[in-house]
């Protein structure tokens, strides 16, 4: 395959590039460093901050690398050129602002998130249509698109019977932030272009990813990926491990009954590989739910305490979200196509703790406490 990874500077992007390279595919990487700029704008830095993508790409086999903004007019032209020149046939699209709290900070942050994410994906769809509609787009969506409905969550589509008539519709979405909403809008736009232009798209509704090491980028190598712990870009397990190591309270928001889907970063790599090897057909909008375990937040906190110690504190929930709810998403698609999950264990939590311990003196305590409230 000739694979283009959009958003390759990020937590998942670089490991994905290495994963495809290791399987002898041609890989081109791209990014616009938006996340690095956003981090600087709010005064946070990840605990592990890899080199710039250009530097890593050069060092690694001189991988073709392009720095451009996909959401802009120029970005559309640049993307068309890359698709033509590198004869791309598979695109993995991670190039989006990934943080729910960032999107809820302010009006301008909500707009920046949605414009970047939605306009970028629109440019991608138009570029694929123009250059080669047969290119397979693998798009990173999120489990949070669905919210927490009181019925089982299917993989993207729902068969319904209404007043005696039957149809198949996109699963109703009720997400919990402007960020998650941006991915809902993307999903609708993508499904529309599959239907209208015959594009082929796989939309991955991914849960919360944990882990710092992959097969090609072990946590103790220069190819390890980034690690965020701050209240904006840090996800729940990462944050709890850092809090435990620092001996400060583990901040469970509310009662901690919120349930979410989780997966190991190594399983993300495998899922994207499977999606590329079993592509959507022309005109197909294929949706796969990409998580391997579901836990409530309090359970994650308990696992951390049991593995490496710490003290749990139930803090007032800064978000508007259900803390007690039904949660039963289907996740057959990747398992049936060969995914063997790595489950969360005390050993893995210990491994993550070992990986980040050397960097603990970089922690900025003021960026840990939850400050971003959903109701401004």
Segment 86 to 145, residues that bind ligand USQ, using CB under 6 A: 98-100, 142-144
Segment 332 to 371, residues that bind ligand USQ, using CB under 6 A: none
**76/146 with CB nearer ligand USQ:** 146
Binding ligand USQ (rule: CB under 6 A), the pick from 35, 139, 239, 288 is 239
What string marks each residue from 190 to 229 as x (binds ligand USQ by CB under 6 A) or -?
-----------------xx---------------------
Distances (CA, A) of 271 to 89, 138, 341: 18, 11, 10
* DSSP H helices in 31-119: 34-41, 53-59, 73-85, 100-103, 107-114
Binding ligand USQ (rule: CB under 6 A), the pick from 223, 251, 273, 290 is 251
Binding ligand USQ (rule: CB under 6 A), the pick from 48, 57, 236, 272 is 236
Which active-site residues does the annotation give? 142, 179, 183
**13/207 with CB nearer ligand USQ:** 207
Total residues at interface with ligand USQ (CB under 6 A) = 21
Q: Copy the structure tokens of residue 176.
A: 């919990």
Smallest distance, ligand USQ to C-beta of residue 253, A: 3
- β-pair partners for 260: 295
Beta strands, E only, the chain: 2-6, 26-31, 65-67, 90-93, 136-142, 157-162, 165-170, 200-206, 208-210, 250-253, 259-264, 285-290, 293-296, 312-315
Q: Is 182 in the site for ligand USQ (CB under 6 A)?
A: no
**10/83 with CB nearer ligand USQ:** 10
Beta strands, E only, 75-207: 90-93, 136-142, 157-162, 165-170, 200-206
Return the closest-CA partner of residue 152 out of 322, 326, 292, 328: 328
Position of minimal CB gap to ligand USQ: 144
Segment 300 to 319, residues that bind ligand USQ, using CB under 6 A: 319
DSSP string for residues in 43-62: T---SB-PPPHHHHHHHTTT
Smallest distance, ligand USQ to C-beta of residue 196, A: 27
Site residues for ligand USQ per CB under 6 A: 98-100, 142-144, 180, 207-208, 235-236, 239, 251-253, 258, 260-261, 297, 319, 321
């Amino acid at each position: 395959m000739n694979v283009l990874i959009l958003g390759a500077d990020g937590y998942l992007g670089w490991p994905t590039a290495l994963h495809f390279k290791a399987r002898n595919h041609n890989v081109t990487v791209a990014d616009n460093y938006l996340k690095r700029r956003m981090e600087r704008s709010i005064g946070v830095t990840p605990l592990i901050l890899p080199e710039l993508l250009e530097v890593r790409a050069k060092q690694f086999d001189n991988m073709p690398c392009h720095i451009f903004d996909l959401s802009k007019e120029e970005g559309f032209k640049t993307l068309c050129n890359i698709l033509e020149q590198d004869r791309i046939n598979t695109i993995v699209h991670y190039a989006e602002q990934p943080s729910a709290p960032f999107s809820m900070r302010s009006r301008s942050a909500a707009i920046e998130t949605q414009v970047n994410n939605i306009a970028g994906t629109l440019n991608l769809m138009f570029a694929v249509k123009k250059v080669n509609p047969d290119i397979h787009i693998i798009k990173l969506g999120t489990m949070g698109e669905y919210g927490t409905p009181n019925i089982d969550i299917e993989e993207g589509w729902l068969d319904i019977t209404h007043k005696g008539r039957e149809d198949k519709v996109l699963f109703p979405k009720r997400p919990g932030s402007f960020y998650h909403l941006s991915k809902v809008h993307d999903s609708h736009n993508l499904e529309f272009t599959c239907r209208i232009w015959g594009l082929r798209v796989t939309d991955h509704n991914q849960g919360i990813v944990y882990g710092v090491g992959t097969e090609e980028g072990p946590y103790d190598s220069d190819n390890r990926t980034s690690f965020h712990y701050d209240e904006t870009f840090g996800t729940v397990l990462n944050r709890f491990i850092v809090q435990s190591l620092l001996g400060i309270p583990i901040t469970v928001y509310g009662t901690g009954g919120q349930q979410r889907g989780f997966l190991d970063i190594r399983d993300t790599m495998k899922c994207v590989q499977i999606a590329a090897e079993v592509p959507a057909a022309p005109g197909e909008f294929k949706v796969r739910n990409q998580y391997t375990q579901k836990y409530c937040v309090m359970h994650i906190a308990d696992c951390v305490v049991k593995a490496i110690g710490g003290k749990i504190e139930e803090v007032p929930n800064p978000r508007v979200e259900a803390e007690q709810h039904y949660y039963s998403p289907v996740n057959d698609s990747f398992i049936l196509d060969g995914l063997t999950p790595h489950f969360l264990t005390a050993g893995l939590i210990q491994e993550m703790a070992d990986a980040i311990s050397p960097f603990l003196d970089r922690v900025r305590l003021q960026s840990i406490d939850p400050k971003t409230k959903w109701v401004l």
